[in-house]
Amino acid sequence: MAARPSLRTLLLGAALALSAASALAEGPGRAAIATPHPEATAAAREILQQGGNAFDAAIAVSAALAVVEPYGSGLGGGGFFLLRQPGDPVAYQFIDARERAPGKATWDMYLKDGKVQPGISINGPLAAAIPGLPAALADLAAHYGKLPLRSSLAPAIRLANQGFAVDRVYRDRAQMRLSALRDDAESARLFLKDGEVPALGAQIRQPELAVTLQRLADSGRDGFYKGPTAQALVDGVQAAGGLWTLDDLADYHTAHRQPLRYALADQRELISAPPPSAGGVALAQSLAMLQRLPWQSAEPVQRSHYVLEVLRRAYRDRGLLGDPDHVSNPIPQLLDRNYLVGLANSIDVHQATPSSSLPPSPAWREGDHTTHFALIDADGNAVAATLSVNLPFGAAFTTPGTGVVLNNEMDDFAADPHGSNSYGLAGSQANAVAAGKRPLSSMTPSFIESPQQFTAFGTPGGSRIPSMVLLSMMEYLNGQPVATWPAVPRYHHQYLPDVVEHEPGTFTDAQKRDLQARGYTLKDLGRSYGNQQVLFWNKAARTLEAASDPRGLGVSEVLETR
């Protein structure tokens, strides 16, 4: 008969177990930053070294990006912030700072003689919804940060006054929107040089934006949504034919929502964006279907086949979603495990499923030039945030005297809710234009957490965001090094059109022939896309890593702050 362990042995074992559990519950002891621009990373570092937490640093990054990436985000836009707060249990929050349609918006405002007029939902103030980012920054400071808002905004104010150097990404985005920027005198004055894209290294200074940021720093949300800034915004919008009123700005509020959470295998949990993002649902559905398929042991083309088929099915359901304050989202049904098992079982192991054989869903447009960053501090507070003004330089309209480039997020609504396209009606109605409504989005800041590990993911890229995040998550789930997560070659399927979009070099010629033989139509986009920023905290090994997408200019780093 085996000897029973002594009381001392039992107590020692219990103490060791408690110590191990405590070690996993503690923060990483260091901070990690991954942003798409060196100046934004420097702003985060400055705030963390001043004693700020991840939420203070998120304010600094968001504001710095508003200065140096006017093409991707800014005070005239909005975004989503996914937050992690350490504790037992860990708490997750989601700040929905998506823009809202102005009070005078109507379902038919972009129709003329029954036909969609896309130009007016893209360029000029009629394309702009009420911005949400300034309110989110004030919320973060008031409810989550350690430092006053003025401290966290100081790096961005300094950047706006002193200027920043034009880089290759700025030149590329400005060239894409050159005609629209030229059409607006204030945008041309600020962001062009004699009507042309500035040369590399040219300095862009924005003193008016510095004043706007300073008012936000001094007075919080009222410094933007009321007072002289609000008056200048409304005056500028109305003078150019827009619909904004002072009440629209005063009434804007962020929405604090419960993140979408979905249990994965191996004690992992997906924590992601809920509606008005469609991305979290698509990720949860895709990961759930992949768990029923042998993707990890599959050769490359077979793995791509599995990914394309789960994306096809997940994107089909996107049209059922909309702003939860205005429509009922059938998330329990879409994430029901029996439903997802059925979707996985409907995948032919060898052949593509024609999208025409599946029930229809509506089409949508969404700009793909957004921005994303991720942060974690020494205590384990973390932020993954995706911000946008929609198309590069938003509506290409800057309100005089403010330096604020307005978004064109109204273009993310279904411009024709009566479904003049061939893709169906129900989903279009869910995302139809309505006063005060937030348009549907694909922005998908996400975490995957388990007792042993924590990861953060996210990228710009419009409708391709969920597929990019999925591919990066698969790298993580397959045990690949962190640097490969944002670098993985990208391909995409969104149900309709029934086409596989991909970056140059994603597939070899032999792989292309194999995919085509399976029934896929391939489209080489001729360019790379996305700009992912990721974090990996291995709690068990007590290591912390960050990585930035090699396609962009981003800088990631791990630093001591204690």
Which fold, 260-365+443-539?
A: Serum Albumin; Chain A, Domain 1 (1.10.246)
Q: Residue 379 is encoded by which pair of tokens?
A: 């205590």
Residue 558 dihedral angles phi and psi, to the nearest 5°: -115, 135
Residue 276: cis peptide before it, omega within 30 degrees of 0: yes
- The answer to whether the beta carbons of residues 412 and 439 sit under 8 Å apart is yes
Residue where the block lists tokens 């006054």 = 161
Three-state SS for 523?
A: strand
Domain boundaries, the chain: 260-365+443-539
Q: What order do you get walking across the sheet with 260-263 strand by strand?
A: 260-263, 269-272, 446-449, 453-457, 533-538, 543-548
Burial grade of 29 (CB within 10 A; 0-12, 13-18, 19 or more): middle
What is the per-residue pLDDT for 363? Answer: 54
pLDDT in tens, the chain (562 residues): 444 444 444 344 443 344 334 444 589 999 999 999 999 999 999 999 999 999 999 999 999 999 999 999 999 999 999 999 999 999 999 999 999 999 999 888 888 777 777 788 899 999 999 999 999 999 999 999 999 999 999 999 999 999 999 999 999 999 999 999 999 999 999 999 999 999 999 999 999 999 999 999 999 999 999 999 999 999 999 999 999 999 999 999 999 999 999 999 999 999 999 999 999 999 999 999 999 999 999 999 999 999 999 999 999 988 889 999 998 999 999 999 999 999 999 999 999 999 999 876 555 556 666 899 999 999 999 999 999 999 999 999 999 999 999 999 998 886 655 543 322 223 357 788 889 999 989 999 999 999 999 999 999 999 999 999 999 999 999 999 999 999 999 999 999 899 999 999 999 999 999 999 999 999 999 999 999 999 999 999 999 999 999 999 999 999 999 7
Cβ partners under 8 Å of residue 273, min gap 6: 80, 82, 94, 259, 260, 279, 280, 386, 443, 444, 445, 446
* Helices 279-290 and 465-477, packing angle to 10 deg: 40
What is the per-residue pLDDT for 10? Answer: 39
What is the per-residue pLDDT for 417? Answer: 53
Q: Residue 385 is encoded by which pair of tokens?
A: 């945030």
Question: DSSP per residue over 104-136, as a string?
Answer: T--TTTTEETTEE-GGGGTSSGGGPPBP-HHHH
Q: How far apart are the first and last CA of the chain?
A: 52
Q: Which residues are catalytic?
A: 370
